[in-house]
């Protein structure tokens, strides 16, 4: 299977702990996105990478959040000092680039974060 | 009308019926639209897309219609099957420029729960 892969699938942690999620995009895709989804809502954009460059961060991404894509392949999303409100599904998506950037984003199955 | 939180619009159909799921988008500058299917515990799965220079596109058992005048998108599923039961999201793509390149960012609609009864 060459789809988007996310690890771990589930993470349960106590408030105040740090967590890190990993995303492996589809191999030939140079664009990578992180989204957050809460129950009953559609995914909300968090941040975007083109190759290793982080080109946009949503205002949803507080200072406790950091994302990296060091070699332009896999990406990590870290949340420091987790809070109850961070409980959500964190989704990663990737896409290829065409001349006008209209290519569908393909999603992984997400990491579900639960803060106790 | 609008739904908030867990109160997603729902559509309940019998197996074999055709289903129509509607979506209103907000940004007249959006030029690309995607329908996704999301099953419980999984990520959104790409179904079909359409560019703004088209008003209809067909796939296997699915058709997407785009009405830019009223900013409306619909997904038609023919001969709906129990395996089609899921939450369906439309997403609009708006372009941004950064770092000397253009990229698209998706904004998702609220989702519709489709339930197919055998």
Q: What is the pLDDT along chain B (118 residues), one digit of tens a residue?
A: 333 345 689 999 999 999 999 999 989 989 999 999 999 999 999 999 999 999 999 999 999 999 999 999 999 999 999 999 999 999 999 888 777 777 888 999 989 999 999 9
What is the Cα–Cα distance from A30 to A46, expressed in whole angstroms?
17
Identity of the residue in A56, A91, A104 whose CB atom sits nearest the CB atom of B98: A56
List the single range of A10-14, A42-46, B3-7 with lowest mean pLDDT: B3-7
Residue of A nearest to B7 (CA): A40
CB within 8 Å: A41 and B42: no
- Which of A39, A48, A93 has the CB atom closest to B6's CB atom? A39
Looking up tokens 């200072």 gives: A63
Tokens of A73: 């392949």
CB nearest B111 (choices: A4, A42, A101): A42
The reply to whether A73 touches chain B by the CB within 8 Å rule is no
Average pLDDT over residues A76-80: 98
């Amino acid at each position: 299977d060459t789809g988007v892969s996310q690890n771990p699938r589930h993470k349960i942690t106590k408030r105040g702990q740090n967590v890190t999620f990993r995303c492996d995009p589809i191999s030939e895709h140079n664009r990578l996105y992180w989204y957050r989804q809460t129950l009953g809502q559609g995914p909300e954009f968090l941040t975007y990478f083109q190759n290793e460059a982080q080109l946009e961060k949503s205002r949803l991404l507080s200072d406790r959040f950091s994302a990296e894509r060091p070699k332009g392949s896999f990406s990590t999303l870290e949340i420091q000092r987790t809070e109850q409100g961070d409980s959500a599904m964190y989704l990663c998506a990737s896409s290829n680039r065409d001349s006008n950037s209209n290519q569908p984003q393909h999603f992984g199955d997400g990491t579900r974060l639960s803060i106790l | 009308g609008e739904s908030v939180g867990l109160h997603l619009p729902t559509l309940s159909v019998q197996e074999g019926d055709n289903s129509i799921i509607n979506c209103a988008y907000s940004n007249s500058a959006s030029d690309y639209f995607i329908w996704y299917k999301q099953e419980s515990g999984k990520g959104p799965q790409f179904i079909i897309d359409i560019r703004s220079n088209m008003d209809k596109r067909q796939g296997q058992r699915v058709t997407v219609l785009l009405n830019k005048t009223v900013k409306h998108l619909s997904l038609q599923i023919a001969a709906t099957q129990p395996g089609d039961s899921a939450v369906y999201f439309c997403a609009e793509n708006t372009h941004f420029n950064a770092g000397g390149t253009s990229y698209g960012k998706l904004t998702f609609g609220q989702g519709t729960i489709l339930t197919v009864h055998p």
